[in-house]
Amino acid sequence: MKYFCLYSNCIIVIGESGSVLCDLQNECYYSVPNNLADLLSFNRGTPINLNKSSQLGKIANEYFEMLVKNNLGFYTKKPHSYPSLSLDWKNPYGLDYFIYELNPLTIVSFSKIIKEINSIGCSTIEIRISEDLQLIAVEDLLKSFKQSRVRSIYLIIENGQGASIQQIQALLKGNSRVIKIFVFQCNTDLVENDSYQQIKDILLLSKEKITEFETKRMNQNSFVHNMAAFCEAQEYNIGLNRKLTVDGFGNFKNHPKHKLILGSMFEHSLNDIIRNEDLTLLWKVNNNRIEYCRNCQFRFFCFSEVELIKTEDGKIYKSHYPCGVSK
């Protein structure tokens, strides 16, 4: 008998109102109607014995042809020779994403925290620079990363009304880890500066406030369809896992918008906080455990950072629903 198999990097995720075929190698996805998704999700290949004169048989056969043409699947007589992909996930870092809200209060402990970050290991840092801080003060702080294990730094200038291209260039000088600078509430004349062209790939300019930008960000474009995220999402909440924030008051939180405070950087070490059960339990609540999200076809590549709420009967919800994604 002949079978149709999807390539092992192409995985079906079935949702309530629709399904998706995730192509993890090419980092994209295709929408699939649920009845076909049911057929395609046979672990070891779909037997090609559908009645071609039936409506479903006709559609399924056309679909298989289209999937073969697009390099998403193939026909075989030996489906057992093609094992499924392992979705195990491991990360050598203690933290994956660390957000620091930098202002005159929190700047005093910046170097201490970065030292701790270096010993724990963290791949990406986001520094949010408040409007009360001079950019020149940040130039010096960035030198702390010279010997660090941090791979990427995002700089967010919350109020860029007074910022100049020269000041922004100074932040980049000698700091190859800075891969993006976002300037909010900015003066759009910046793009008319001759030097703008040299750094325009790194710079994102917006007239909006950061809060407006974050509210609009949650849509299909914010999904990440790569192998690492998909594997991590099988067990963890990819929007919250290994994320930590120091907010503008020096409080440790999972994300700046969350209400739950885990401790204060003036009283607790980073090492203690990353072992705090309130935090590590949140990291492990993947979308399969969250009401509404568990039936969503995007649950393995949705990076929603919305705070979670547990009800008395043990159910877990996102604090903000609907999420803004149309299905």
Interface contacts to ligand SF4, rule CB under 6 A: 287, 292-293, 296, 298-299, 302, 304, 318, 323, 325
Least distance in angstroms from the C-beta of 290 to ligand SF4: 7
Q: Which is nearer to ligand SF4, 24 or 133 (CB)?
A: 24
Least distance in angstroms from the C-beta of 216 to ligand SF4: 15
Strands 73-76 and 3-6: what pairing?
antiparallel
Strands 19-23 and 10-14: what pairing?
antiparallel
| Other beta carbons less than 10 A from residue 54's beta carbon | 10
Q: Which is nearer to ligand SF4, 253 or 299 (CB)?
A: 299
The structure tokens 């042809």 sit at 65
For 290, the token pair is 């969250």
Q: How far apart are CA 24 and CA 162, in angstroms?
A: 43
Structure-derived torsion over alpha carbons of residues 244, 271, 128, 109, reported in degrees to the nearest 10: 160
Q: Which is nearer to ligand SF4, 159 or 226 (CB)?
A: 226
| 309 bridge partner residues | 317
The structure tokens 């568990």 sit at 294
Least distance in angstroms from the C-beta of 259 to ligand SF4: 18
Q: Which is nearer to ligand SF4, 186 or 302 (CB)?
A: 302
Least distance in angstroms from the C-beta of 302 to ligand SF4: 3
Q: Which is nearer to ligand SF4, 128 or 255 (CB)?
A: 255
Question: What are the distances in angstroms from CA 296 to CA 145, 229, 291?
Answer: 40, 16, 10
Helices (H) and strands (E) in the chain, counts: 10, 16
Strand order in the sheet with 152-157: 203-205, 178-183, 152-157, 122-129, 95-102, 243-246, 251-253, 263-264
For 195, the token pair is 């030097």
Least distance in angstroms from the C-beta of 235 to ligand SF4: 15
Q: Phi then psi for 187, rounded to 5 degrees?
A: -85, 115
Q: Which is nearer to ligand SF4, 184 or 223 (CB)?
A: 223
| 22 bridge partner residues | 11, 29
CB of 292 within 8 A of CB of 263?
no
Q: Which is nearer to ligand SF4, 161 or 220 (CB)?
A: 220
Q: Which is nearer to ligand SF4, 180 or 294 (CB)?
A: 294
Least distance in angstroms from the C-beta of 291 to ligand SF4: 9
Least distance in angstroms from the C-beta of 299 to ligand SF4: 4
Q: Which is nearer to ligand SF4, 48 or 325 (CB)?
A: 325
Cis (ω within 30 of 0) for the bond into 322?
yes
Least distance in angstroms from the C-beta of 308 to ligand SF4: 11
Least distance in angstroms from the C-beta of 304 to ligand SF4: 4
